[in-house]
Amino acid sequence: MKILVISDTHRDFSAIELALSQNKDADMLIHLGDGETEFEDFTAAHPMLPAVYVGGNCDIGVHETTHVVRTGTGVNIFCCHGHTLAVKMTLGLLTENARENNCDIALYGHTHIPFNDMVNGVYVMNPGSAALPRGDMKPSYGIIDIDKNRAISINIRELRGK
């Protein structure tokens, strides 16, 4: 199973489309917030691709701020934007919530800074921002690969062409 993870697109629909065009074999999209308008447009344009959205601090609609994705592979993913879990200061609340929800992976956005590591026994990823990266970062997104034996691979990729 291949999951495309994107965050902080801030009204840049082309960023989501570009990431998908570079990953046409994706089985699912997870958007980690601050992009509700373009997410709605994306799901209308791609109704057959399963997609999940969690609300960010700049979104105005009513959205869940956390969500657990049960992939069907036996691997569960905790998703949040991160602003309600203080991810700019610590990843402790994030990993605690992931473990409480029996999740192997925790995803967050909000900081616009890519991060990919094992923290407190949980795979943790921030895909960075696909539209408004901070500092010297390039626009980026994440890929999660889960094979039939539940082996997990998590990578952050530069959004080429942006």
> Residue 24's pLDDT is what?
96
Class in CATH terms, 2-158: alpha beta
- The string of pLDDT tens digits covering residues 102-122 is 999 999 999 999 999 999 999
- The string of pLDDT tens digits covering residues 133-147 is 998 899 999 999 999
> For the chain, what is the mean pLDDT?
95
* Domain positions in the chain: 2-158
- How confident is residue 39, by pLDDT bands cut at 50, 70 and 90? very high
Sign of CA dihedral 125, 17, 36, 28: negative
What does DSSP assign to residue 162?
Answer: -
Query: What are residue 141's phi and psi, to 5 degrees?
Result: -150, 170
- The string of pLDDT tens digits covering residues 54-92 is 999 998 877 888 999 999 899 999 999 999 999 999 999
| pLDDT of 162 above 80 | no
In angstroms, the CA 128 to CA 158 distance is 9
Mean pLDDT value across residues 93-103: 97
